[in-house]
Chain A
Amino acid sequence: MPALADYLVLSSILFAIGAAGVFVRRNLITILLSIEIMLNAVNLAFVAFGRALGAADGQIIVFFVMTVAAAEAAVGLAIVIALFRHRESLDPDSFTALKG
């Protein structure tokens, strides 16, 4: 049987992949997808900890994280659509109008 530590290592690997996506990629859609990878890595850690504690609270927190992720995806994608209409580009480096 895989232990708690195995799930936590898998979760941290997935979180690092998501973070690498945010660092490396230059596409707003892919950056949002990387954020979803990170949220899912955290969900896995929550469920694993909840299983280790024998409580349902981990699964309930995952439910809330998914709800917030849905809201974040809706608003984030709306912002992406508005930005794309504005600049015809998905490159975050092309949105520097607020730079001092």
Chain B
Amino acid sequence: MALFYVFGAIAVVASLLVIAQHNPVYSVLLLIASFGALSGLYVLLDAPFVAVIQIIIYAGAIMVLFLFVVMLLNAPREETEEDLARGLATLAAPRVRTVGAALAAALAVELSWALTKSGGESGSFPGGSVSSVAAIGRLLYTDYAFAFEVTSVLILVALLGAVVLARREAR
């Protein structure tokens, strides 16, 4: 199906541009585009619930939080002249980049090899799939009820932690 390749290409290109951009604001906006493409892939996978919360929570909440922090810090200042000069002085930065890119390429090859070769059967998907939100909600409140409740505690702790960490120290 052509839609898979369209969405996949958008996700890959947008993600590549995220790590290639020097201005963090553009990085955040491109990542939102990548998440939109992933949401389309979830629709293709018969998972409309995940597609919707991908848009609402990831693109709508988490990325807005990122954007807020980027604009709060007002710091599109990576790799200014002095940073580049310092990187060239230590001669570490270019080598680190080459090795990092090579490691990432090796990781991609290894992961796709391991994930596709281990399964064995590699046909198209079977007919039956669970896509109704009611079924997911029922599972969340029965089989996964404990994890669901623990998640609420996690959110509370993260909330308190963020407030405490970002608070300006009173002197």
* A12 in contact with B46 given A17-B12, A29-B66 (CB within 8 Å): no
Interface SS of A by simple majority: helix
Whether A56 lies near B135 (C-beta < 8 A) is: yes
- Which B residues between 122 and 156 are near A, CB-CB below 8 angstroms? 122-126, 128-130, 135-136, 139-140, 144, 147, 151, 154-155
Chain B, interface size: which category?
A: 35 or more
Whether B107 lies near A19 (C-beta < 8 A) is: yes
* A47 in contact with B69 given A2-B1, A15-B107, A29-B24 (CB within 8 Å): no
Whether A73 lies near B47 (C-beta < 8 A) is: no
A66–B54 CA distance with the chains assembled, in angstroms: 8
Contact residue among A2, A33, A43, A78 (Cβ-Cβ distance under 8 Å from B18): A33
Q: Which residues from chain B contact A59 at a C-beta distance below 8 Å? A: 47, 49-50, 130, 136
Whether A32 lies near B50 (C-beta < 8 A) is: no
Whether B11 lies near A14 (C-beta < 8 A) is: yes
Whether A23 lies near B104 (C-beta < 8 A) is: yes
- Which A residues between 48 and 95 are near B, CB-CB below 8 angstroms? 48, 50-52, 54-60, 62-64, 66-75, 77-82, 84-85, 90-91
Question: How many chain A residues touch B (Cβ–Cβ < 8 Å)?
Answer: 72
Q: List 26 A-B contacts (CB under 8 A).
A: A2-B44, A7-B41, A7-B45, A8-B115, A10-B8, A12-B111, A14-B12, A17-B16, A24-B97, A24-B104, A25-B19, A29-B27, A30-B18, A33-B66, A43-B50, A44-B41, A47-B45, A51-B125, A60-B144, A64-B147, A64-B151, A71-B154, A73-B66, A78-B166, A81-B69, A85-B168
Given contacts A2-B44, A13-B12, 20 further A-B contacts (CB under 8 A): A5-B115, A11-B111, A11-B115, A12-B107, A13-B108, A14-B12, A19-B103, A23-B100, A23-B101, A23-B103, A24-B97, A26-B78, A30-B24, A33-B18, A37-B15, A37-B31, A43-B38, A51-B47, A63-B50, A67-B151
> Could you list which residues of chain A lie within 8 angstroms of chain B, going by C-beta atoms?
1-21, 23-27, 29-30, 32-34, 36-37, 40, 43-45, 47-48, 50-52, 54-60, 62-64, 66-75, 77-82, 84-85, 90-91
